[in-house]
Every structure is written in structure tokens, then in C-alpha cells.
Structure 1
């Protein structure tokens, strides 16, 4: 994350993780501009490289070999990664509207989202056909088809709509893989039948005759039924209808044709062509707005019209990065001149490929090996990330700033005084908070939007107050998600006591910079937090916000529970014979340490954040309903530390089964690599509480006993008779990895309270 000594002065926002944008991220990571921040908005963490996708379908490559990890790449580039989907633009206000988060402001914007199959143009296609894009949805359907073929013998008919290079290549790759699966299972490959529909009378109509003949021979040799001049005009459930009146029953219908621009672009005010693609000049700036760029398939260059092909998206990466850099520095962008002819290497699924360039065409196994070498070399650029070099130490140098902005930039890097002088300005704070809508409670007499110096709360009759506080610095670059995690983390103590949340007072620090940047960061962060607080019916009633080197957030939270204490969950209530339950997987500490070192896969971080954003509220209520005797939330002291906190006041011992621990994806891999949280060494001192560490230290999950958690799950003791019903109920509530991880034992004579088991189910 960028620190306060390099305040953010300009924001470049990238919509989409296409081939051009991955090039932009890599180049900015190698040579960043201090004061310039990149933000990537993309629905998927792993973006496929189109050149290798058919090879993945054919089974020649694993998933990770053909996907670029955008989370890791963004971390390398110092970019914020917002895992969301853009759904609109406010060109006048320079904001990107997203599906599931607050709008994101920009100074320069670039769009690289690829094309979208226009299945809605053909009746029934959107409901009954599988478009090849977006790739993640197609991949899920493809994996389901693979599984169905393996598990259910019988004839299967697959129809592919689209006779261009993409449709032909995909057809041959799918057929090759599925036939191989059948042969390996000892079944007849001819159970499969493939049909390819094309509205043209030729396949690959944009390529030369030699290339077309090569693929026609391949299709005929491989037994693919080619339907020429057969435009599909209707799709029913399992039935393809053509304009000529022909029909075909199909078990799977794949759509690889009639691509156009995303529907939301039509409402943006950007000039589009007849297919909905964004019109750009040779600088890759849109005809509508010089602050907005577009590249790849989503763009149509009016100065140099070209076919939609991945090679152009890749080659637009360097000029796009250069022009974004020049634009943000106030310099005129330079024109981009694409090549008139290009080399296309099109595979046939079976480690054979055809080369096409202008009037040239040739094929062979050696062409596939050549293609494989080119593709692997391209992907290596995004797995072996180089060291970066800064362009300048002066955040204002090279940026064309107005006088007012320059003054703010100088002020931002000047030494700040302490005390009240470190506060965020009143106007910035009021604008950011005015947009928030915290939940209203009748027992909050004076709250956030009142002008008084403090909040005033009522304590209902018969209730007691529970009070807790948590505060920590941001460990991710997305302030909205960080706000959600911070609020969940703070509420965890309230829920672990069996209480309901009443109110929260925030303490936040934000990096210094221009007022507009501080305001947006504060608004994004508090929007995420308020969503979580509102869901818990917890009113945000006030707080304090100051400037600091790092983004940080914490809450002092009040909760309410019955004053008689009958439903209070404490750490000291465990009883011998109880079963130990854990509601969430562990591993956040090692995963985010690995993320900072570019050693974690993006999907691991996604899963960890999903777990951290899940509230413990329903889990705590479920534990109470099933007679839980003690409870705590697992946070900074790690699983072992919090378990020891429970055994001592309960005057019991405990048995913990390492094999039963629920673990986040990737956590075992990162600890095995020696990547640990900075808090781990302090937690490891608690190993003295282990009665039998000998023979257990080599267990792959042993280090995770000491892994500090953020917004972790609930560790609880439940009567053995209720344990399995409680697990089932928790899983039904969405705590899908809830597990029985041990049992409570009578206190023995040994000083060490924890006994470890390494394998097998826990006895209940």
C-alpha cells in the first residue's frame, strides 16, 4: 500500500482484467509513478489467456497454467484490486458504478472487458445455450459436462454455434478431451457426436483458403458434423433451430458467435459502433471523452479497423500503458499503429496447429510446439514478476497539477502536527459521513448525525451492557472490503459473549493527501463497515478520524444481554465431556503474509476474505440454541492461544485433533513454505501449553495452531449429545466448514492442558 509520504494525487481506474490491462499492470509495477494509484475492477480473480484456453479444454494445461492471477499481479503493481463488476459510468462526475460496492472515482479510466456473446438476440439462446464468455461460467459448465460424461454412459450430442476460429478451435478441443476420457474409461468414444453450426458457407471466413481447407479436413477427419449456411434463429431446451427450418436435438449447446459490447455500455454516453463496441482513436482514447480509454476486443479503432483478435489486445498493452502514463502527467498521448497482418496459431485440439498470416498458411505438430513455446513465454511474464523501479521520489513531479492541487500535495507530504491537528478536516468528514445511512435504533437518543459532542444511549430494563474495542491497520488495498472485515472483527467479541450488538463508535486513520482522495477512501471504508453494522442492527453513533501513514480502522462496540446472565457465553464454562466446535477455517495470518510476498494465489485470498466477511452473529445464536457452555472468537492469539484462555478458567484440559481442523485453501502450502504472520513468533511461545508436542511438530497443520486470525470463527464447547445436530445447523446457516475439532477432558495432573491428536475422527 502507498504510504502517506507519497500521497495519492491521481487515480487511474482499469475496468476489466483483459490482455491489455495485465500488460498495463505489469508495466506500472516495474515503473510506478509516485502519487499515481491504479485500481483494477474485475469480477474474476483469475483471467484466462485466450491463446491457451483451447489447450486447457483439451487437457494439455492445468487451470493455473492458463490463467493470470490478477490479485497477485495487482499486488505487484501496487494497485487496488476491487473484485466487483462495473455496471455503469458517470462521465461528468468521473465515477464508475459497480454492482456491489460504492461508486469508484477516477482521473483517467480504461476499459478492457472483451466482447460479450449476444445470446439475447436469438430467442431462447440466453436460457438454453452456454456462451463461451464469461470464461468462468463456461468453465463451470464445462467441468460439469466432463463429470456427466464420466459418470453417465450413453450417447451425448454437443452442438457448437459459431464457425469462426474460436468456435472451430473450441469444438476440436472439447471433442479431443471427451473422446480421450471415454477411451481411458474403457468406453466407446463414438458415444459422442459433435455438430458445428455456421451461418457462413465457409469455416474461418476471415482466414485464407489454405487455412480454411486445413480445418475443413480436420473437421471431416474427426467426424464433426458441419452445418454450413445454417444460421441458428431459435434455441429451445435441448433443441437447435435454424433459419432453414432444420432442427437438432442436443445435450449441450455452446455459443461462440455474434459477440458484441456489454449491454451497460449503451447507457454510458460513450460513442459505440453498431455492435456495441467503444469507438476509439489511434491513441486508444474514446471519441467521447479523452479521459476514457478502451482496448482489446471491446474497442473499435476508427483509424485502424481490425478483426477482433487476442493478438491486438496483447499488443495494445504497451501503448495503452504509455498513454495512460502520459495522460496522467498532462502530456499528449501518442498514436498507436497496429500491424496490418498478424500471425494466428490455431490449434486442432490434439497437439497439432495451423498457422495463418495473411495469404500464408501451414500446419503441423511442430506448429503446436511453437505455439506452446510462445504461449508459455507470454505467461511466464506474469508469473516471474521483475523487480520494480520508481520513476521519481517526488509525488508531484511530472504531474500537471493546478495551483490548488499543488498546494494540497505539498501540504500532504509536510510533517503533520499531532493532537487535533491530525484530524481529518470537518468538511471532508461531513461530506463522507453524510452519504452513510446507519441503522436507526430506538435506544439511541443522540447518534451520528446529531451535532452533539457524544452519543447518548439507553440501556433497556433488565439488560446489561457488554463493551469491547478492536483496532488494526489495513492488510488489503480495498478500503470497502477492509471496512467490512474490521466491523466483523470488532463485533465478534460481542457475539461470542452471546450478546446482541447495540452501537459502535469508530476510530479511523487515513493516509494524507488531497481532500477528494481522503474523502473517497473514508467513504469507501465506512460504507463497508456500515453494511456490516446495519446487518447486525448495530447503530454507528460517532467516532474519530485522523490522518496517519496507514489506513486503519477500529470500533468500540456496545452490546446488550440479559442482566440475569442466563444466556451469557463465557470462556470459563467448558465442562469435561463437551465437544469442541470451530465455525470457520483458520489460516488468514499466513495467507496474507504470503499475499504481501506475492506468494499466494488470488483465489486463496478471495476465499479468506469471504470467510472474514461472514458475520458470527447467526453462529453464536445457533450455539446458544444447542446449549453451548463456553465460547470465544478466534483472533490474534491463534486457535491454541484462545483455547488455552478457555481451559484455564474452566479448570479442564482439552484434546485437539490436528487432522480435523478446518483450514483455508492455500494455508497449508504457505506455512509449509515458511511464510508466517509477524505475530506468529509471539503465539508460538504458547507451545508450552502442549502436553505432547513430540511427533506433532511435523504435522502440516501444526504451525496453524499459532496462526493469528482476523475476523475468525467461533470456538465453542457444546454438550456431546448436541454436537452433531449443532454442526448440521451451523452448516445450514452458511458456516460450511464447521467441524468438531476436539473434546474437553477432566483436568489432569500435568501442567500442560492441551493434548494433540494427529489423525482420525474425534470421538464424541
Structure 2
């Protein structure tokens, strides 16, 4: 990450993970722009390279071969990655509206979301056809079809709608893969029948006649039924109907026709063409708003109309990155003129390709190998990222153009800052940030944020005792909203682990200094995420303190309520011999985020870890209490072994863990095997003296994970053996799918070491 003391002065927000935006991210990663913060908003963590998709379908590439890891690329670029879906733009307020989180402010906005299939124009297509875009949905259906052919081979007819290069290439790739699967099963590949439907008079209408003839020959040789002048007017569960009224049976209908712009763009006020694509000038700025850029398939260059092809999106990455920088430096953006002709290498499914460039063309296996080399070299630019040197803490001077009050704020942000109360975030900034937040109301909160005072006043109901805890840590991800959720969830863990209900929370936050508008948004995003978790737990946010610091950090002092009868409190020291140990969440967050900072993870591993960390322990704790748990704790910084030792000592028992039974986050075994460990791991490893005969498991791949520090980890509980299976079933039904029995509690033996590990 490109972290320096340079404050954020301007925000570039990239909506969509298309080919142009991955180019922008890489260029900013190689040459950071001080004072400019990039934010990528995308629904998917892994974005496919369209040029290799047919090869993936044909079985020539694995999933990771054809996908760019956006979370990893954003980390390399020093950009925030927000995994969410943009659903609109408030251009007056300069904000991107998102589907499941607060709006994201921008100074410059770029849109590279590709195209959206127009299934609604054909009756039944939206319900019964599989659109090739968005590709993640197509991939799910494709994998299901693949499994269907493998498990129940039989007669099947597959129809592809769309006679352009994309439709023809995809059909031939599907045919090659599915026939190969049947051959491997010693089944007749002729059980599969393929048909292509196009409203044009020929296939590949935008290519030269000799290319059309080549593919007409290939389709004929492969036994594909080609229906030209056959516009599809309806799709149902049994097949499709063409314009002549004829119904064609099909078990699967794949839609690869020309698409249009996303429907939500119509409400942005941006000028769109007849297909719903955003009209842009030669600088890739929209004709409507110079602060909004667009590139790739979603953009329509007014002065240089071109066919929708991936080559243009790729080549727009460089001028887009350059003009985004220039526009924030108050310099004139440069014009970009796309090429008139380009080389298309169209595969035929079987590692054979046809070249098409204007009137010229060729074909052969050598062309496929050339295409494979080009594609792999392109992917390597984004998946084999160069190691970046640690930048100077101060960093070079920003070239962002500022005037008036903003210029004064920028100077103040890099000057010597005050300590003490002078380091507090300004009252007006804080009040604006928190003004839109609505903490849950509780009758037992007498004075809180609804009527702020010097301190909160809270009533303790009769028969209840207070439970107090506090947690605080610095941010480990660049998304303040998600960080706020995790920080709140982590702080609530101790309350739930003791069987208490959360009552109130007081926040303590530090925020990097900068322009007031940027500080305000950071506080708002972070506290909005935290409040979502607190409100869900019926925990009232009653106050807090926000100050300046070098890094974003957040913590909470939580008050909880519990029946004042001692037998209602779940403590660490209640383990009993004969009990079994149950863990409700997988472990591995420490090593995964250490590896993420080194660009050594996959984005989907981090996605899964974040989902786990955002998952509340509240329902799990209630279940464990109902099932008679005798002891419980939440896993945090001391790791599984450290917290287990904390339970065995006061309980005066021993415990055995089965390493193979541990639920582990995807990727954690790979990262610890690579020697990538949390900075807290060495301190935790000192507890190995609590392990009996540790030498017998030193080589086990999961051994290092028992020391791995967890953030917002699961609950570790001691449950009577007769209740264990029912407890696990209930926990899984409640949404804790990784819950597992990981060991048992034993009488205290003569050995000094209380814990034994088994493979």
C-alpha cells in the first residue's frame, strides 16, 4: 500500500472492474499521485479477461488463469476496494449510490462497467436464457451444466443466440469441452446437439467475407445447426421461438447478443446513445459532465464510433489514467484517438484460431499459440505484480490544484499537529459526520446521543448485573465501512461470550488528518458500518471520542447486562471433564491479512475472511447457552491455543485438540506454509510450552494456525458430550456453517502441559 503522511486531497472513484480500470490501477500503483486517493467499486472481486473466457470454457485454462484479482490489484495501487454494486450517481452531490452501504463521494468519477444484456426485449429470455454477461452468473450456470453432463449424460440440445464473434467462439468452446467430457466418460459425444441463432444473414457480420466463410465451414464440420435470419422472439422452459413462428427445442439457451448500458444510467442525467451507452468526448470525459469519465464497452466515443471490442477497453487504460490525473492538477486533458483497424484472434474451441484484421485473415494452430502467449502476457501484468519499495513517509509534494479554504486545510494537515485536546476532530466536522446516524433507542438510556451531555447516563434494570469490556485496534483494510462493522463486532464478542446482552457502546476513534470533507466522510463511513452492527445487537451508541492520528483506528467500550445469578454467566473457567470443544467460526485471519499486505493472497480468500469477521456471535452465544455450555470465550488476539489455555487453567482440566478437525479459512494453510505470519504470532508461539509432546505435530500444516491471532473470531465453548451433536446442528442452522467439534476436555493429569494436539 502506498501509505504516506500526505493527506487525501482528492478522490478518484472507479465504478467497475473492466479492462480500462485495471490499467488505471496498475499505472497508479507504479506511479502514485500524492494527495489523490483511488477507490474501486465493484460487485466482483475477480474480474474475467474476456479474451480468455472461451479458452476457460473449453477447458484450456483454470479459473485463476483468466481472472484478475481486483482486491490484490487495488492493494498494490494503494486504492480502496469496496465490494459492492453501484446503483446510481448523485451528480449534484458528487456521490456514487451503492446497493448496500452509504454513498461514496468523488471528485472525479470513471465508469467502466461493461454492457448489460437486453433480455427484457425478448419474452421469457430473462427467466429461461443464460446471458453471458454478467460473467459471474454465466459461470455459475456453466459449471452447473458441466456437472449435469458429467453426472447424467444423455441427449441434450444447447442453443446459442447471437451470431457475432462472441457467440460463435463461445458455442465452439462449449461444444469442445462438453464433448470431451462425454468422451472421458466413454459416452457418445453425439448425444449433444448444438444450434446457433442469428438475426443476420450470416455469422460474424462485422468481419470480412473470408472470415465468415471460414467459420461457416468450421460450424458445418462440427455439426452445428446454423439458423440465419432467425431473430428469436420468445424463450420458454422447452426452447425458443424464432420470428417465423417456429419453435426450436433446447435444454439450455445461452444469450450472446449485443447488449446495452445498465438501466440505472438513465437516471444519472448523462447523455446516452440509442443503446444506453455513455457518450464521451475524445478525452474520455462525458459530454455532459467533465468530472465524469467513461471507458470500455459502456462508453460511446462521439467522434470515433467503434465496434465493442476488448482491445479498445485495454488501450483506453493509459489515456484514462493520464487524463484523470491531469484533470485534478487543473491541466488540460489530452485527446485519445482509437485505432480504426485491429487484429482479432478468434478461437475455434480446439486450440485453433482464425485471425481477422480488415480484409486480411489466416488460420491455424500456430495462431492459437500466439493468442495464448499474448493473453498470458497481458494477465501477467496484473497478476504478477512487481514488489514495491516502501515509500518515504512524507512523500513527494502533491500536484493537486487547491485554492482558498481547502489550500489552508491542506497546509494545516501536513504541518506540526497539536496534542492533547488540540488533536480532537473539529466539532462541526464531527457533528456533520454523525448527524445522519441513528443509534437504536433504549428505554434504559437516560442520556445518550439523542440528548448529548458530558457523559452518558444509563439505568441498570433490577435483577441485572453490568458486564464491561473494551477493544481497540488500528485498521487493517482500507474500507472504513467494513472496518467499522468488524471493530464493533469484535468489541461485542466478549459480551456475547459471557452470555450477556449488549446495552450501550462508547466509541474511541482516530482518523488521519486532512481536508475536513475527507475526514468527515471517513468518520461517517466508519461509524455507519459500526452502527449497523450495534443496532442489530440492540446496543445503543451513547457517545465517544474522535481524535487525529497517523492511522485509522476504532474501538468501543461496551456495557452489557446479565442476570445477576452466577449460574447464568458463561465463564472461561467452567470446563468439565467429558465435555467436547466446539468452535463456531474458522480460523486464519491473522495470516491471511499479513499475506494480503504482501500481495500474497487471492481476493476471494479475503472476501471469505471478511464475511466471517462481520458475522455476529450473538445467535451462536444464545444457542450455546441453551445447549448447556459450561464455559465459553471468543477467539481474538491470543489465538486458539492462547484462549484454550486461558480456559483450562481456571477449570483445572486438560484438553485435546484434533488439528484435522479445525475449521480453517480458505487460503490460510497456503499462507502459513509460505511462512507468512501475523506480527503477533511470535508472541503467541511462546505458549507452545503448554503443548504436551509438541514435537509430534510440528510438521502438521495446521500446527501454526493454533497460534494465529484472530480478529472478530468465533466462540470456543465447552459443551456436554450428550448435547454436542444437537448443538452443532443448531449452530449450522443458525448460519454458522463451519461449526465443528474440535476436541474434548479431560481430567487434569500429572503433566505440566494442559493441551495435547492430535493430527
Same fold, TM exceeding 0.5? yes
The 8 Å contact of residues 497 and 568 in structure 1, kept in 2 or not, is answered as yes
The 8 Å contact of residues 33 and 398 in structure 2, kept in 1 or not, is answered as no
Segment of structure 1 superposing worse, 149-158 or 744-753? 149-158
Q: Provide the rounded CA distance (Å) in 2 between the counterparts of 1:36 and 1:618.
A: 42
SS at match of 1:600: coil
**Shift, 1:154, TM fit:** 1.2
State the match for 1:187 in structure 2.
187
- Following superposition of structure 1 onto structure 2, how do residues 313-324 of structure 1 map, counting pairs within 5 Å? 313-324=313-324
Q: Provide the rounded CA distance (Å) in 2 between the counterparts of 1:150 and 1:213.
A: 34
Q: Provide the rounded CA distance (Å) in 2 between the counterparts of 1:249 and 1:625.
A: 55
Segment of structure 1 superposing worse, 589-598 or 193-202? 193-202
State the match for 1:118 in structure 2.
118
State the match for 1:432 in structure 2.
433
State the match for 1:569 in structure 2.
570
- Following superposition of structure 1 onto structure 2, how do residues 31-42 of structure 1 map, counting pairs within 5 Å? 31-42=31-42
The 8 Å contact of residues 271 and 288 in structure 1, kept in 2 or not, is answered as yes
Q: 1:3 to 1:372 in 2, by over 3 A?
A: closer
State the match for 1:20 in structure 2.
20
The 8 Å contact of residues 728 and 739 in structure 2, kept in 1 or not, is answered as yes
State the match for 1:51 in structure 2.
51
**Shift, 1:393, TM fit:** 5.9
State the match for 1:479 in structure 2.
480
State the match for 1:555 in structure 2.
556
**Shift, 1:25, TM fit:** 0.1
**Shift, 1:397, TM fit:** 3.5
TM-score (structure 1 length as normaliser): 0.98
The 8 Å contact of residues 396 and 406 in structure 1, kept in 2 or not, is answered as no
Q: Deviations over 1:120-176 (max 9, x none)?
A: 111111111111011111101100100011001211111111111100000000000
State the match for 1:105 in structure 2.
105
SS at match of 1:509: strand
SS at match of 2:401: coil
State the match for 1:762 in structure 2.
none
Q: Deviations over 1:554-593 (max 9, x none)?
A: 0000010101133211000000000000000000000000
Q: Provide the rounded CA distance (Å) in 2 between the counterparts of 1:388 and 1:295.
A: 28
**Shift, 1:237, TM fit:** 1.5
Q: Provide the rounded CA distance (Å) in 2 between the counterparts of 1:565 and 1:319.
A: 68
SS at match of 2:425: coil
- Following superposition of structure 1 onto structure 2, how do residues 62-461 of structure 1 map, counting pairs within 5 Å? 62-388=62-388, 397-461=398-462
* Structure 1 runs (4+) greater than 2 angstroms displaced: 1-4, 386-397
Q: Deviations over 1:165-201 (max 9, x none)?
A: 1000000000000000000011000111111110111
The 8 Å contact of residues 284 and 295 in structure 1, kept in 2 or not, is answered as yes
Q: Deviations over 1:634-693 (max 9, x none)?
A: 000000000000000000000000000000000000000000000000000000000011
How many residues align? The count is 758
The 8 Å contact of residues 440 and 539 in structure 2, kept in 1 or not, is answered as yes
The 8 Å contact of residues 468 and 557 in structure 1, kept in 2 or not, is answered as yes
Q: 1:572 to 1:387 in 2, by over 3 A?
A: closer
Q: Provide the rounded CA distance (Å) in 1 between the counterparts of 2:7 and 2:156.
A: 59
Q: Provide the rounded CA distance (Å) in 2 between the counterparts of 1:395 and 1:37.
A: 15
State the match for 1:761 in structure 2.
none
The 8 Å contact of residues 499 and 559 in structure 1, kept in 2 or not, is answered as yes
SS at match of 2:568: coil
**Shift, 1:391, TM fit:** 11
Q: Deviations over 1:387-428 (max 9, x none)?
A: 558799666542111122111111001111111000000000
Which structure 2 segments of 5+ residues have no match? none
Q: Provide the rounded CA distance (Å) in 2 between the counterparts of 1:439 and 1:4.
A: 37
Segment of structure 1 superposing worse, 730-739 or 2-11? 2-11
State the match for 1:664 in structure 2.
665
State the match for 1:650 in structure 2.
651
Q: Provide the rounded CA distance (Å) in 1 between the counterparts of 2:492 and 2:612.
A: 15
State the match for 2:599 in structure 1.
598
Q: Deviations over 1:482-512 (max 9, x none)?
A: 0000000000000000000001000000000
SS at match of 1:519: helix
Q: Deviations over 1:429-464 (max 9, x none)?
A: 000111101111111111113231111111111000
State the match for 1:6 in structure 2.
6
Q: Deviations over 1:588-613 (max 9, x none)?
A: 00000000000000000000000000
Q: Deviations over 1:237-267 (max 9, x none)?
A: 2320111111112111111113000010000
SS at match of 2:566: coil
The 8 Å contact of residues 505 and 541 in structure 1, kept in 2 or not, is answered as yes
State the match for 1:493 in structure 2.
494
The 8 Å contact of residues 4 and 395 in structure 2, kept in 1 or not, is answered as no
Q: Provide the rounded CA distance (Å) in 1 between the counterparts of 2:416 and 2:222.
A: 72
Which structure 1 segments of 5+ residues have no match? 759-764
Q: Deviations over 1:227-246 (max 9, x none)?
A: 11110111112320111111
State the match for 1:612 in structure 2.
613
Q: 1:652 to 1:392 in 2, by over 3 A?
A: closer
Q: Deviations over 1:202-230 (max 9, x none)?
A: 10100001111111111111111111111
Q: Deviations over 1:324-354 (max 9, x none)?
A: 1111111110000111000000101100000
Q: Provide the rounded CA distance (Å) in 2 between the counterparts of 1:689 and 1:661.
A: 19
1:727 corresponds to 2:747? no
The 8 Å contact of residues 34 and 391 in structure 1, kept in 2 or not, is answered as no
Q: Deviations over 1:717-760 (max 9, x none)?
A: 100001011101101111000000000000001000001110xx
Q: Provide the rounded CA distance (Å) in 1 between the counterparts of 2:303 and 2:580.
A: 71
State the match for 2:585 in structure 1.
584
Segment of structure 1 superposing worse, 251-260 or 471-480? 251-260
Q: 1:297 to 1:371 in 2, by over 3 A?
A: same
State the match for 2:30 in structure 1.
30
SS at match of 1:694: helix
Q: Deviations over 1:23-80 (max 9, x none)?
A: 0000000000111100000000000000001000000000001000000000000000
The 8 Å contact of residues 34 and 392 in structure 1, kept in 2 or not, is answered as no
The 8 Å contact of residues 623 and 727 in structure 2, kept in 1 or not, is answered as yes
State the match for 2:640 in structure 1.
639
Q: Provide the rounded CA distance (Å) in 1 between the counterparts of 2:755 and 2:699.
A: 17
Q: 1:392 to 1:662 in 2, by over 3 A?
A: closer
Q: Provide the rounded CA distance (Å) in 2 between the counterparts of 1:218 and 1:523.
A: 59
The 8 Å contact of residues 208 and 359 in structure 2, kept in 1 or not, is answered as yes
Q: Provide the rounded CA distance (Å) in 1 between the counterparts of 2:114 and 2:2.
A: 30
The 8 Å contact of residues 4 and 412 in structure 1, kept in 2 or not, is answered as no
TM-score (structure 2 length as normaliser): 0.99
State the match for 1:706 in structure 2.
707
Q: Report the RMSD for the aligned CA atoms in angstroms.
A: 1.1
Segment of structure 1 superposing worse, 556-565 or 235-244? 235-244
SS at match of 1:259: coil
Q: Provide the rounded CA distance (Å) in 1 between the counterparts of 2:394 and 2:707.
A: 39
